[in-house]
Amino acid sequence: MELKSNEEKITRALLVSVDSGEYDAEASLEELFELVKSAGTEPVLSVTQNLQRPESASYVGSGKLKDIADVCGELEIDLLVFDGELSPTQIKNIEAATDVRTIDRTTLILDIFASRARSKEGKLQVELAQLKYMLPRLSGKGIELSRLGGGIGTRGPGETKLETDRRHIRRRTETLKEELASLEQHRSMLRKRREKDGVITCAIVGYTNAGKSTLMNYLTNAGVLAQDKLFATLDPTSRALKLPSGVTVMMIDTVGLVRRLPHHLVEAFRSTLEEAAQSDIILNVCDASSDETRTHLQVTADLLESLGCGDTPIITVFNKCDLLDDGTLAQDFGNSVRISAKTGEGIDELLQAIDDNLPVRVKRVSLLIPFAAAALVSEIRSKGTLISEEYVADGIRVEAVVDEMLYARVKEYES
């Protein structure tokens, strides 16, 4: 790997992993590389040690820690990022041995979320997750953050909040919970209004960097940030999409997932993720070109199951298929489509799949309704989708999308 000069002032990070056989350490470490790059830091090198379990004092063994210290000196490393959750004692011992600032995977992910949050709710959720993670790590007057300076692991609540006593942090935590509860109540009201108005919702979920925002932009011109970075989109976005049948659905983009997502974040963002749980249809988008496709799909499936989405139609969307030659992967999944949100390949098939999974069967009709039955137009407007209406000599010419029940009432006027 070509190293960048210090003149560019880019933080240089060494990544450290312990392979205990509990999970795929190599795949997790590769993901950590992407997380570090997403945070604007340069991952220079990684070190892995095979242990039955992480050492309680320093996560890695004393000999390996000395090796890490030597590498940090030789490569002028500014930051150590451990692919696990470190205790305050472990961080203290590692920094004492290496003289290099040290953070763990959870701190890194929390920091990325803090840098990407844009909405009020997103910022509140991130701060709540950070405070919950920091609280048990505070001792005495609190951890000394003034020595940390800039860089990843220092965004969010800030020094003044975290250097106060536990009581103040608990008060702040309760305030955040109250504000989030108020915002959730508002979102719940909007959700009920959508249900009352008969709005059909379709949530886009999936692993981070699978191309969800690119797909959202292609379908709806939503203008959602779409970058080749993990967690490029944090705040949920909703946009209307008209299907080939004429039915309009509300598309909802959600935050991306990663394996071993910190439970603080799962809890803090549960209300946002529940937008997916409340949806009529779910698109589980994955990067078909990734070697970890099946794992990514399983991570998402597990979360959807925990949110109670068992009865919701789920369409598996294999994205980035322009990078593949064959379709063997998609053949293993029943309700699935292959697309490229970048080129538009397979989008027609995706729209048809959404149509096929609508919660009620609908039909697009052309009607000539006599003036004596004009009340039907109002009923179509409230219970169906009125595409167009035109007053002609014989009555009202209507283009509409109606469900089976409404169709039974208007089919005699088909033209």
Find where tokens 């999409």 sit.
241
Number of Cβ within a 10 Å radius of residue 330: 18
Residue 220: predicted pLDDT:
83
The stretch 243-248 carries a mean pLDDT of 79
pLDDT of 55: 94
Residue 52 has a CB neighbour count (10 Å cut-off) of: 8
Least confident of 25-39, 265-279, 360-374: 265-279
Mean pLDDT value of segment 277-296? 86
Task: Using alpha carbons, select from 84, 19, 16, 25 the residue that is nearest to residue 53.
Answer: 19
Burial of 152 (0-12, 13-18, 19+ CB in 10 A): buried
Question: Can you give the pLDDT at residue 5?
Answer: 45
Structure confidence by residue, pLDDT tens digits, 190-223: 767 766 666 788 988 888 778 888 898 888 875 5
Query: Strands 362-369 and 395-403: what pairing?
Result: antiparallel
pTM: 0.67
Instruction: Please give the pLDDT value at position 328.
Output: 55
- Give tens-digit pLDDT for 70-113: 999 999 999 999 999 999 899 999 999 999 999 999 889 888 87
pLDDT at 60: 95
3-state SS of 40-106 is: CCEEEEEEEEECCCCECCCECCHHHHHHHHHHHHHHCCCEEEECCCCCHHHHHHHHHHHCCEEEEHH
* Both tokens assigned to 302: 């597990």
Highest mean pLDDT (candidates 125-134, 281-290, 294-303)? 281-290
The DSSP secondary-structure symbol of 156 reads: S
Q: Which has more confidence, 102 or 6? A: 102
pLDDT at 411 over 50: yes
Element (H, E) at 287: strand 281-287
Beta strand pairing status for 237-242 and 248-253?
Answer: antiparallel
